[in-house]
Structure 1
Amino acid sequence: MKHIVTPRAIVKAILAATFIGPVPALADDPVKTDDVSVFGQKETRQVLTMTRSELSEAPPGYSPLASLQKLPGVFFSSSDPLGNYEWASRFSIRGFNQNQLGFTLDGLPLGDQSYGNNNGLSIGRAISQENISRVSVSEGASDTGTASTSNLGGSVQFFSVDPKNRFGVTLAETYGSANSSRTFLRLDTGDMGAQTKAFVSLLYSRADKWKGYGPQSEKQLNAKIVHFFGESKITAFVDISRRDESDYADLSLDSQRRLGWNWDNYAPDFQRAINAAKGIFTGGVTSVDDAYYFARGLRNDELAYVNANLKLSAIARLDTTVYYHHNDGQGHWYTPYVPSPSGLPISIRTTEYGIRRGGVISSLVAQLNNHQLSAGFWYEYNKHQL
């Protein structure tokens, strides 16, 4: 959005608020020239975009949401260095939290990115970081065409890369502290004939928590195929994600002061967890809520869509996407409040997550001289189980 405001226009606005009747002419004021406000085509709100080159500046495996925090008005926090630990991640734009924002991938609704949400999945589980081409952030009112039920305070739209025009293999290997390793492998077919190209990528990452005990691991497959015919295009995309992440202990201001920043759950010291469940506390611990033995989250996701972007005539285009998302997940934690039947003062509590959703998003756009007319609809069927 471009808005031209001159010092002369400001003075005239002050005079207009002061005088009743015609505004007095200023010296050297052009008689027949109006001040002009110019808006970019189709956009009258602030929309910021991060490109692939900007996203690639982040460390491998870095959360795309974390990369956005360099934009004005965007806030992101997490308890892990890469920002992928979903339980402790928080995202907001100009004071609107993630439950009030819309998130999409290639137009597909991703829910609100919260832990255990009922209508989506995190962007990290939907696509590998290396396969994101750009991100558009609307910091004001979101586009009415955004497929979201929570986009009152803006939107974040992710777009996947298209397959490359030439055959190629991309391999990236990363090693770091806390026994971390990450392997990303991508194969681009190039043009296979008939204006068709595709890619498939595999990701495997593993790391220990930066404090305490427990692994963080992820396996992911992405595949995309694009076929052109004339000025139309058909695209298909598949994502398969398997994530296993160990939880960090939640810290309050009081527990942080007593136990320090490096405090975490008891694992692998099972005896200390047993003692705490019996009320025997050591090392500054004062309650059973200061830590548990162990906790983790498991998430299995499959996401797929087929998109047809068709030129119907010289003035009209139809864009339709059919999508499906399946999620199975569990949350585990060792509770000291319910004993096991065996007599141990600790038992395992699980939370089961399940999503089966599918839908269609379609829009018809017609360009009539200087006017653009559009119509569309979004339908989704979602069965959520908790």
Structure 2
Amino acid sequence: MNTIWKAGLLASVSMGLALGTAFADDAVETNEEARELETIVVLGAQQTYSSAETTEAMALQQSPVTSILAQIDNLPGVQVQEGDAFGFDDWSTGVAVRGFQNNLGEQQVGITIDGLPNGGSNYGGGAKANRFIDTQNAGTIEVSQGTADIAARSNDALGGTLNFTTQNPLDERRVRVSASLGDFDSQRFYGRYDSGFLADNKTKFWVSLSTQSATDHVTQTADNTRDHFAAKLQTEQFGIDWTAYASYDDTWENNYQRLFSPDDFAANPNSDQLTGEWTGIPYIDQLYRKAWGTLRENSLIYLKGEKELFEGVNLEAGVYRHDNDGRGDWVPQYVVNVGQFGTSTIPLVSFVDPAGTPLAPTAGCVSSITFPYGGASS
């Protein structure tokens, strides 16, 4: 019964509207003969809060000898701290995005390489993008300063995201070589070959090789070297767009030490208090620069495939592998007395006599070295 009533009500309303329209036709034609229906189109796009990216002009401001990290230092809200102008020392390198840090022990900013995770990015067990991308192979660097969303493929805490991209192979064949020379014995040699499209008109690639070196700006005794190989390929096969990338980086760096107080800076703002000469005295040689080092080999390889399933919907998948091998060197002013450990009253040995017997400090003998980490108290 209710169903029948509803159907009848709808029919009545429809009829009433039709009658109303008939009576109104004359008024419409009289008052608004040229009236037209306007169409409003609203377009929307995804926008990440407080995002920015580097430009080609920013890249050209930096010398090829510098680290790729130096390019993002030009963006608002981003600060890069490096021990020298070359970015040779990862120990002293830090990246801050609106107060969030990636440095010696913190990794609060996400880093991706061509949209793929780069693993950890602090000094202790990871690597930043400068280990995987050569400066002259870098593309746009995308910086998202807000908390990243689920689409950010990063292993780090997300106080922001840095996506470092690599240049795509050129459509035309090209050979490029460059050489750079600068202060503090800095030099860099770089070469790259772009194949252009091959015979199938679908495949193109590039390969590059670079080597660079420099000393430090304090004592000019550091031996810093870096050798880098990279290659990238793009092709279309089986209706899928494929991208492959591989890089290998071999770095030997002598470190800079941090200043720990305003007094350290006031004493000598141009010195990090590491020394350039080996004296044979353990308390002094703990500050020997060549004994402070970062020796690392980093490699990255990935393969990505992308296919448009239908208009507006793309499917993308990728596999990747990172390898990090090496060590960090530091010379303490003591050795562990392994032979007598647990029974000796001096488990840490700083001095021995000619027979190798550990010696205790002379009463009242106090070291004048207060750096680093508080120096030696006796």
Do both share a fold (TM > 0.5)? yes
Identity %: 27
| Kept in 2: contact 1:100–1:112 (CA 8 A) | no
Query: Which one of the candidate residues 242, 247, 264 is aligned to 1:239?
Result: 247
The answer to whether the aligner puts 1:208 opposite 2:215 as a matched pair is: yes
Query: Which one of the candidate residues 86, 94, 102 is aligned to 1:82?
Result: 86
The residue aligned with 2:236 is: 228
In the alignment, the residues of structure 1 paired with residue 278 and residue 288 of structure 2 have an alpha-carbon distance, to the nearest angstrom, of 12
Shift of the alpha carbon at 1:230? 8.3
- Report 1:115-130 matches (<5 A): 115-117=123-125, 120-130=126-136
The residue aligned with 1:33 is: none
Query: Which one of the candidate residues 261, 265, 278 is aligned to 2:274?
Result: 265
Q: Which moved more, 1:158-167 or 1:79-88?
A: 79-88
In the alignment, the residues of structure 2 paired with residue 317 and residue 68 of structure 1 have an alpha-carbon distance, to the nearest angstrom, of 30
Query: Which one of the candidate residues 170, 177, 182 is aligned to 2:188?
Result: 182
- Report 1:321-336 matches (<5 A): 321-336=318-333
1:196 corresponds to which letter in structure 2? T
The residue aligned with 2:68 is: 64
In the alignment, the residues of structure 1 paired with residue 87 and residue 178 of structure 2 have an alpha-carbon distance, to the nearest angstrom, of 20
Query: Which one of the candidate residues 171, 180, 197 is aligned to 1:165?
Result: 171
The residue aligned with 1:19 is: none
Q: Which runs of 5+ in 2 are unaligned?
A: 1-41, 339-348, 353-378
Q: 1:260 to 1:157 in 2, by over 3 A?
A: closer
Name the SS of the counterpart of 1:334 in structure 2: coil
The residue aligned with 1:15 is: none
The residue aligned with 1:24 is: none
Q: 1:52 to 1:193 in 2, by over 3 A?
A: farther
In the alignment, the residues of structure 1 paired with residue 145 and residue 305 of structure 2 have an alpha-carbon distance, to the nearest angstrom, of 29
Name the SS of the counterpart of 1:145 in structure 2: coil
Q: Which has the larger radius of gyration?
A: 2
Q: Which moved more, 1:173-182 or 1:329-338?
A: 329-338
| RMSD (Å) for aligned C-alpha atoms | 2.7
1:211 corresponds to which letter in structure 2? V
The residue aligned with 1:197 is: 204
- Report 1:7-46 matches (<5 A): 41-46=45-50
| Kept in 2: contact 1:135–1:158 (CA 8 A) | yes
- Report 1:77-156 matches (<5 A): 77-98=81-102, 99-117=107-125, 120-156=126-162
Structure with more strand by fraction: 1
Shift of the alpha carbon at 1:268? 2.9
- Report 1:261-340 matches (<5 A): 261-271=270-280, 273-274=281-282, 276=284, 294-338=291-335
In the alignment, the residues of structure 2 paired with residue 127 and residue 238 of structure 1 have an alpha-carbon distance, to the nearest angstrom, of 10
Q: Which runs of 5+ in 1 are unaligned?
A: 1-37, 278-287, 347-386
Shift of the alpha carbon at 1:176? 0.8
Shift of the alpha carbon at 1:333? 1.8
In the alignment, the residues of structure 2 paired with residue 248 and residue 340 of structure 1 have an alpha-carbon distance, to the nearest angstrom, of 29
Q: Please list the CA deviations of residues 126-151 of structure 1 after superposition, one character each: whole Å capped at 9, or x if unmatched.
A: 11011111011111121321112334
Q: 1:226 to 1:251 in 2, by over 3 A?
A: same
| Kept in 2: contact 1:338–1:345 (CA 8 A) | no
In the alignment, the residues of structure 2 paired with residue 292 and residue 206 of structure 1 have an alpha-carbon distance, to the nearest angstrom, of 16
**Under a length normalisation based on structure 1, what TM-score does the superposition of the two structures give?**
0.70
Shift of the alpha carbon at 1:49? 1.2
Q: 1:275 to 1:156 in 2, by over 3 A?
A: closer
In the alignment, the residues of structure 1 paired with residue 188 and residue 68 of structure 2 have an alpha-carbon distance, to the nearest angstrom, of 16
The residue aligned with 1:218 is: 226
Q: 1:250 to 1:95 in 2, by over 3 A?
A: closer
2:234 corresponds to which letter in structure 1? V
In the alignment, the residues of structure 2 paired with residue 81 and residue 324 of structure 1 have an alpha-carbon distance, to the nearest angstrom, of 30
State the aligned residue count: 296
Shift of the alpha carbon at 1:85? 1.7
Shift of the alpha carbon at 1:44? 4.6
1:147 corresponds to which letter in structure 2? R
| Kept in 2: contact 1:292–1:333 (CA 8 A) | no
In the alignment, the residues of structure 1 paired with residue 312 and residue 258 of structure 2 have an alpha-carbon distance, to the nearest angstrom, of 56
| Kept in 1: contact 2:178–2:191 (CA 8 A) | yes
Shift of the alpha carbon at 1:247? 1.1
Q: 1:275 to 1:122 in 2, by over 3 A?
A: closer
Shift of the alpha carbon at 1:335? 1.6
In the alignment, the residues of structure 2 paired with residue 318 and residue 154 of structure 1 have an alpha-carbon distance, to the nearest angstrom, of 25
1:199 corresponds to which letter in structure 2? W
1:327 corresponds to which letter in structure 2? N
Shift of the alpha carbon at 1:232? 3.6
In the alignment, the residues of structure 2 paired with residue 315 and residue 39 of structure 1 have an alpha-carbon distance, to the nearest angstrom, of 15
Q: Which moved more, 1:47-56 or 1:324-333?
A: 47-56
In the alignment, the residues of structure 1 paired with residue 294 and residue 172 of structure 2 have an alpha-carbon distance, to the nearest angstrom, of 39
